[in-house]
Amino acid sequence: MKRRVVSLWSALSVLTLAAPAMAGSNDLELSRFATFNDTTSESGCTETCGFAEPDEALFYDLSRDLGQVMAPRFVAPSETLGQAGFAVMFMGSLSAIPHNEEHWQLGVRDRNPEPTLFTGHLQVRKGLPFSFEVAGNLGYLYDSEMFTMGADVRWALNEGFYYFPDVGVRGTVNTVVGARELNMVNVGWDVSASKSFALGGVMALTPYVGFQQLYVISSSRVLNAYPQDPRPPQFNPDSPNQVFAPEFVFSQEQIQINRFLGGLRMHVWILNFTLEAVFSDTVQQYTFAGGVDF
C-alpha cells in the first residue's frame, strides 16, 4: 500500500511539473537592463559604433525578487520524521511580486508580468538518526523554462516533549536551471518552532512559525545591448573612439534577505496537508502542500 501511494504521488508530481521546452512569458530578457550608447556620429565610424551601459540596480532588484520566488519552500513543522520516516510532498505556490516595478516590466519577455507567479514543487524527505532529516527538492516556474534543483538538511534541537514546542534549524541550497541569461544559487538557513495538537485521536494540527536568512547569489551570462547588429565587438587600435562594444555582463551579486513564515499542517493517517505564508519586504508567498508521511 505504501509503495502504491508513493508511486501515485510521484507520478502526479512529475506530470504537474512537466512543461514543454519552449520560451514563456515569464522567461528573462536581461539585455533590456542596458542601453546602447551610440557614438557613430562623433567618432566618425562608417558603421555603427558605441558601447553598452548596463543598469546594475535593475539586475540587483530582479535577482532579489526572483531568488525568493525560486527559493526552497518550508511546508513542514520543526519536528523530523524519525529514523525510519519517509515523506513525499507536492506543493503549489503563489508569489506576490512588485510587478509594476521597472525591473519586472523590462526583465520578463512579454513586458507584462502578472502580479503573482505560480510555481510547482516536489519534495522528498528522509528521516535520519539523532533527529536529523535530509530532503531533495525540484521546482518549476510556470510559463517559463526555469526549474530549480536543491537539497536541505534539518536538525530538531528539541522535539517530542509534551509541554514544550519542537524547535528545529535547517540549511538549504538550490540552483536555477534553464535560464539562458542568468546564473543563480540560493543558500539559506532558518529556525522554526512548532507544536502539535491531537484532535479526537484521528488527526493532528501543527501550527509553526519561523525566521529565515536567504542569500541569493546571481550573475549574468554574456548579454547584448544592440542585438540588431550581428557583428562581433569591434575595436580600432589606431582610433580608440571607434569602438563597437554591445556586449556586457552583470557581475556576481550576493543579496541577503530576511523572511518570516507561518503555517499550519493537518495530519490524518499517512496524509498531510499544509498551508503556509512567507513574508519579506518585497515578495510574499502563499503555499498549499499535500503529501504522505510514513
Q: Is residue 14 part of a domain?
A: no
pLDDT computed for residue 228 by the predictor: 92
Q: How far apart are CA 153 and CA 190, in angstroms?
A: 11
Number of folded domains in the chain? 1
Using one digit for the tens of pLDDT, what is the confidence trace for 241-269? 889 999 999 999 999 999 999 999 999 98
Model confidence at 171, pLDDT cuts 50, 70, 90, reads very high
pLDDT computed for residue 22 by the predictor: 59
Residues 6+ apart with CB under 8 A from 195: 165, 166, 206, 207, 208
pLDDT computed for residue 120 by the predictor: 97
Q: Is residue 25 part of a domain?
A: no
Using one digit for the tens of pLDDT, what is the confidence trace for 83-121? 889 999 999 999 999 999 999 999 999 898 999 999 999
Lowest mean pLDDT among 123-127, 198-202, 211-215: 198-202
Q: Is residue 15 part of a domain?
A: no
In this prediction, residues 9-27 reach a mean pLDDT of: 56
> What's the Cα-to-Cα distance from 107 to each of 63, 100, 203, 210, 252, rounded to whole Å?
10, 11, 46, 31, 17
In this prediction, residues 53-77 reach a mean pLDDT of: 95
Q: Is residue 138 part of a domain?
A: yes
Q: Is residue 5 part of a domain?
A: no
Q: Is residue 18 part of a domain?
A: no
Check pLDDT > 60 for residue 187: yes
| Rounded CA Rg of the chain | 23
Question: Which residue has cell 530532503?
Answer: 135
Check pLDDT > 80 for residue 17: no
pLDDT computed for residue 201 by the predictor: 76
CATH of the domain at 163: 2.40.128
Q: What proportion of the chain, given as a percentage, has pLDDT over 90? A: 73
Check pLDDT > 90 for residue 284: yes
3 state SS for the chain: CHHHHHHHHHHHHHHHHCCCCCCCCCCECHHHHEEEEECHHHHCCCCCCEEEEECHHHHHHHHHHHHHHHCCCCCCCCCCCCCCCEEEEEEEEEEECCCCCHHHHHHECCCCCCCEEEEEEEEEEEEECCCEEEEEEEEEECCCCCEEEEEEEEEEEECCCCCCCEEEEEEEEEEEECCCCEEEEEEEEEEEEECCEEECCCEEEEEEEEEEEEEEEEEECCEECCCCCCCCCEECCCCCCCEEECEECCCCEEEEEEEEEEEEEEEECCEEEEEEEEECCCCEEEEEEEEEEC
pLDDT computed for residue 240 by the predictor: 78
C-alpha cell at 2: 505504501
Q: How far apart are CA 213 and CA 114, in angstroms?
A: 26
pLDDT computed for residue 29 by the predictor: 95
Q: Is residue 9 part of a domain?
A: no
| Domain with 210 in it | 30-293
Using one digit for the tens of pLDDT, what is the confidence trace for 146-158? 999 999 999 999 8
Check pLDDT > 50 for residue 217: yes
Q: Is residue 86 part of a domain?
A: yes
C-alpha cell at 233: 565587438
Q: How far apart are CA 64 and CA 218, in angstroms?
A: 9
pLDDT computed for residue 200 by the predictor: 78
Burial class of residue 234 in the structure, from the number of CB atoms within 10 Å of its CB (0-12 exposed, 13-18 middle, 19+ buried): middle
Using one digit for the tens of pLDDT, what is the confidence trace for 195-211? 999 887 789 999 999 99
pLDDT computed for residue 10 by the predictor: 45
Check pLDDT > 60 for residue 11: no
C-alpha cell at 174: 538550490
pLDDT computed for residue 4 by the predictor: 43
Between 46 and 62, the more confident residue is 62
Residues 6+ apart with CB under 8 A from 46: none
pLDDT computed for residue 43 by the predictor: 76
pLDDT computed for residue 6 by the predictor: 43
Is the distance from CB of 68 to CB of 214 less than 8 angstroms? yes
